[in-house]
Amino acid sequence: MTHLVPAAFQAVQELAVGSLFCLGHLHSPPIRRSFFQTCLLTLASMLGVGIWLSPTPASVILFVLLLVYAGAFWISDRRWPRRMLWLSLAVGAAGMLTPPLLLIKESSGIAEIAAQIVTTFTSALLLGSTFIGMLLGHHYLRDPKLPVALIRRLAILFLLSTVVQGFLLTANLGALYLFGGAEAVARIELLSTSYLAVFLSRVFVGILGSFVLACVIWDTLRIPNVRSATGFFYIAILTGTIGEFLGRFLWHSTLIPL
């Protein structure tokens, strides 16, 4: 139970960073500033809950930057929102990567740290693409003349992140089993005993479930049917959030990048 709060807070940080990255690919004139402000204030609200549970300096700074970023859209100089985006993204990424870096002494080697960093970025992309995709899908109801290519970008990022996650999980477990030694094998065995249900949920709900939804969303947007794709993004938010929370929980429990 002691790993639940850190795992949840890590997932929230990944969601914030991934969402900022996706917003950086949507700075297009057709999208109204109210969309960006809604996304940022929603992220700030979720991050505020995380800060209340487990405050860190980086998360507090990111919370303030998100509010400033949302307010920057009221400034006539269009360069300010872009500047705040990159500043928020840099601070958020630093806070998101702090836990893996702090566990260097507890891990078997630098390779595990590198694997966890790559896994963390992939998780952030998965969570961010589904969250921003869902909100952008709602924005199409308000402004149906928006190019479908905008939400299709997010669908591509979502699909790619699920594929990469499946590859990383297989590669990480295989490398640990073959080259990690007895201590790494003992940690892997925990996945088939103490954490079997959690591990299976991570794989079948968080990765395979999200992959299936990503394929459905991509196929739906080929029609294109944005409204149906938005509904599938809703479901993807659930599968993605559950999967990434379980992945962070397993990492805190076993130090295996999942």
55-77 pLDDT, tens digit per residue, is: 888 889 999 999 999 998 888 77
Question: Which burial class, exposed, middle or buried, applies to 106 when counting CB atoms under 10 A from its CB (0-12, 13-18, 19+)?
Answer: exposed
Q: C-alpha angle with apex 231: 229 to 232, nearest 5 degrees?
A: 65
Query: What is the C-alpha to C-alpha distance for residues 187 and 194, in angstroms, rounded to an integer?
Result: 10
In Å, what is the CA distance from 206 to each residue of 48, 88, 146, 163, 199?
25, 27, 30, 12, 10
Query: Given this model, what pLDDT does residue 32 score?
Result: 83
Query: What does the pLDDT average to over 167-182?
Result: 85
Query: Given this model, what pLDDT does residue 106 score?
Result: 59
The residue range of the domain holding 85 is 4-254
Query: What is the C-alpha to C-alpha distance for residues 60 and 116, in angstroms, rounded to an integer?
Result: 23
Query: Given this model, what pLDDT does residue 104 score?
Result: 57
Convert the pLDDT of each residue in 198-244 to its tens digit. 999 999 999 999 999 999 999 999 988 999 999 999 999 999 999 99
**What pTM value is reported for the model?**
0.92
Q: Is the pLDDT at 252 greater than 70, yes or no?
A: yes
Query: What is the C-alpha to C-alpha distance for residues 149 and 86, in angstroms, rounded to an integer?
Result: 23
- Please name the helix (run of DSSP H) or strand (run of DSSP E) that holds residue 3, with its range, or none: none
Query: What is the C-alpha to C-alpha distance for residues 133 and 118, in angstroms, rounded to an integer?
Result: 22
Amino acid letter, residue 39: C
Helices 110-142 and 226-254, axial angle in degrees (round to 10): 160
Total domains, the chain: 1
Q: Are 243 and 207 in contact (CB under 8 A)?
A: yes
Convert the pLDDT of each residue in 105-150 to its tens digit. 555 567 777 888 899 999 999 999 999 999 999 998 888 888 898 9
Q: Which residues of 27-59 are buried (b: 16+ CB within 10 A; e: fewer)?
A: eeeebeeebbbebbeebbebbbebbeeeeeebb
Q: Are 245 and 11 in contact (CB under 8 A)?
A: yes
Which residues, other chains included, contact 162 with Cβ-Cβ below 8 Å and sequence gap of 6+?
126, 207, 210, 211, 214
202 token code pair: 């991570």
Query: Given this model, what pLDDT does residue 103 score?
Result: 64
Q: Could you tell me the end-to-end alpha-carbon distance of the chain, in angstroms, rounded to an integer?
A: 18
Residue with tokens 């924005």: 139
Convert the pLDDT of each residue in 2-46 to its tens digit. 667 777 888 889 999 999 999 988 866 678 888 999 999 999 999
| CATH number (domain holding residue 245) | 1.20.1630
Identify the CA nearest to 126 among candidates 40, 52, 1, 217. 217
In Å, what is the CA distance from 40 to each residue of 6, 56, 75?
22, 19, 16
Query: What does the pLDDT average to over 143-163?
Result: 92
Q: Is the pLDDT at 195 greater than 80, yes or no?
A: yes
